[in-house]
Amino acid sequence: MIKAICVLALVAIQGSCFLSTIQSLSGVHQSHEQFQSWSNDFGKVYKSTLDYLYRLYVFHNNRLKIEAHNSNSANTFTLALNHFGDLTSEEFMARYTSKNLVPNPSLVATNKQEDEGRSAENERIKNLKLDNEVNWVERGMVNPVQDQGLCGSCYAFSSTAAIESAYAIANQGKLLKFSEQYVVNCGDQKGYKLYGCMGGVLTETGRFAKNVGVFTNDDYPYKEEKENCDSNAKPFTQIKDFNSITSEKMADLLAEVMQGPIALSIEVTPVYQFYQFGVMNVKAPCGFFINHGVTVVGYNLNADIPYLLIRNSYSESWGEKGYFRHSIGDLKTSGTCGFANSLSMRPIF
C-alpha cells in the first residue's frame, strides 16, 4: 500500500485533480488489487502511469456497476469483469459495434426477383411444427467461438459461422473453417454493402457467398484489419441460396433455426459489455438500431425463461464461453427486442 501511495505521489504534479479523484473513491484499494491481477491475466500494458491510473479509475467504476447489477435479484443474468474491464461503456460501443447503423425493421433494398423466388421456401418454414429445443452446437455443427478484435467485422463472423454450419449440415457433419477475411477484404470491391472493418449488411453477405463464393480460412486467415482484395482468388464453394428473414412472429424465426444456424442483426447496448451468465431479458428499449451481427445456433422453449442460444464474436473470454442466451418473448410477436423483425439470413447449400 505504501508503494502504491508513493507511485501516486510521483504523478501528482501532472494530474493532481485526477489523483484526488482516485484517492477519494471508496473501495479503490480492493479495485487496485483486482486490477493488478486482471491486467496480468489479460496481458494489459499501459504506456504511462497516468494511463494506468485512468484505466484503474474506469475499472473501479465498472466493478461498482457490476456489483450493483448482480445484487438486484430481479435480474435474470449476471455480469462480470472480462477483457473489456478497463473500457468505458462509450469506448466499448465505439469499438465493438458497427459504424453503419441500420434501422429495424431493415430498410435495406433487396432484389425482388430473388426474394420472390424464396417465397415458397419461406411459406414451408412458417408451416413447420416447432421442436421444443434445438442446439446445433451439441450436434457438432458449429465451430469454436472467435474474436473479431477491433475490426468491425461482426457481419463477416456471424454470416461465416452460419455458412460453415449450413455446409456441415448438408455434408454429413463435415465442419470446415471458412474465411471472414476474404469478405472483409473484398466485400466493397465486389460491389456489395460490406464495408471492411466498418460493418456490413447480413443479406449482402448472403449474396456475396452465392455470387462470389466462400473461401477457406487457410487461404485467407483473419488479420483484424482490411487488406487488399485478391480479385483473382478462386472460391472453395458457393452457397446455393439464402433465406432473407424478417418476420412479425418469433415462431417463424425459430422455424428457420430448426433448419440451421442463422446470422442475425441485433442492437448491442452497454449491458452487453460485461454479460457473464444467464438469460438476458432487457427491459430497456432495445432493437431500434441494429449495430451488431451474431449467429443464432439454437433455442430452448422448455427453459424457465425460453431463450435463443447465440454465438458472439467477442472471444471465449466473454459470456458463456463466447455465447449468450436471450429471452425469446411471445412467439406470436416479434419477441424480445424485436429479434424476429431484425434483418437475418440463413444460408442454403
Strand partners, 308: 299, 326
Q: Are residues 323 and 222 in the same domain?
A: yes
Judge whether 236 and 215 are in contact, CB under 8 Å: yes
Cell numbers at 233, concatenated: 482468388
Query: Do 16 and 127 belong together in one domain?
Result: no
Place of cell 447496448: 269
Q: Single out the residue in 17, 44, 74 at which a domain terminates.
A: 74
Question: Residue 83: inside a domain, yes or no?
Answer: no
> Are residues 289 and 328 located together in one domain of the fold?
yes
Residue 87 lies in a domain: no
Whether residue 68 is found in the same domain as residue 123: no
**Gap between the Cα atoms of 258 and 260, Å rounded:** 6
Measured CA to CA, the distance from residue 109 to residue 160 in angstroms comes to: 22
45 and 182 share one domain: no
Question: What's the number of CA atoms in the CB half-sphere (13 Å) around residue 136?
Answer: 32
Structural domain harbouring 132: 95-348
In a domain, 89, yes or no: no
| CA–CA distance, 344 with 158 (Å, rounded to integer) | 10
H/E stretch holding 300: strand 292-300
Residue 81 belongs to some domain of the structure: no
CB 279 within 8 A of CB 326: yes
Say if 86 falls within a structural domain: no
Among residues 154, 197, 286, 337, the one annotated as catalytic is: 154
pLDDT for residue 181: 98
Tell me whether residue 9 is in a domain.
yes
Same domain, residue pair 68 and 143: no
Give the separation between CA 128 and CA 176, rounded to whole angstroms.
29
Residue 290 class from Cβ within 10 Å (0-12 exposed, 13-18 middle, 19+ buried)? buried
Q: Which three cell numbers stand for residue 204?
A: 449482402
143 is catalytic: no
- Considering the domain architecture, whether residues 194 and 144 belong to the same structural domain is answered as yes
Over the chain (349 residues), what is each successive 10-residue block's mean pLDDT? 42 46 62 91 93 95 96 94 97 87 46 48 70 97 97 96 98 97 94 91 94 97 95 95 86 95 94 96 71 96 96 97 95 88 91
CATH of the domain at 121: 3.90.70.10
Give the residue among 153, 135, 152 at the shortest CA–CA distance from 323: 135
Residue 84 maps to a domain: no
Please give the Cα distance from 64 to 68 (Å, whole number). Answer: 6
192 and 341 housed in the same domain:
yes
What pLDDT is stored for residue 111 in this prediction?
Answer: 45
Q: Which of 40, 74, 108 is the last residue of a domain?
A: 74
Do residues 175 and 43 share a domain? no
- Average pLDDT in the chain: 86
Residue at grid coordinates 416447432 = 130
17 counts as catalytic: no
CA atoms within 13 A on the CB side of 87: 19
CB neighbour list of residue 91: distance below 8 Å, 6 or more residues apart: none
pLDDT value of residue 292? 94
| Whether residue 63 is found in the same domain as residue 144 | no
Confidence at residue 121, expressed as pLDDT on a 0 to 100 scale = 58
Residues 8 and 104 in one domain: no
Catalytic residue among 62, 281, 312, 341: 312
Output the nine-digit C-alpha cell for 177. 473453417
Provide the 8-state DSSP code for 234.
P
Beta bridge partners of residue 78, listed in sequence order: 277
Which of left, alpha, beta for 160 (phi over 0: left; psi -120 to 50: alpha)? alpha
- Residue 16 has what pLDDT? 44
pLDDT at 196: 93
Q: For 199-242, what is each residue's pLDDT tens digit?
A: 999 999 999 999 999 999 999 999 999 999 999 999 999 999 99
Exactly one of 32, 60, 292, 326 is catalytic; name it: 292
312 is catalytic: yes
Distance CA(177)–CA(213), nearest Å, equals 14
**Is the dihedral angle over the CA atoms 59, 61, 62, 64 positive or is it negative?**
positive
Nearest residue to 337 (alpha-carbon basis) of 276, 278, 289: 289
State the total domains in the chain: 2
Note the pLDDT of residue 289: 79
Task: Examine residue 85 and state whether it is found in any structural domain, yes or no.
Answer: no
52 shares its domain with 130: no
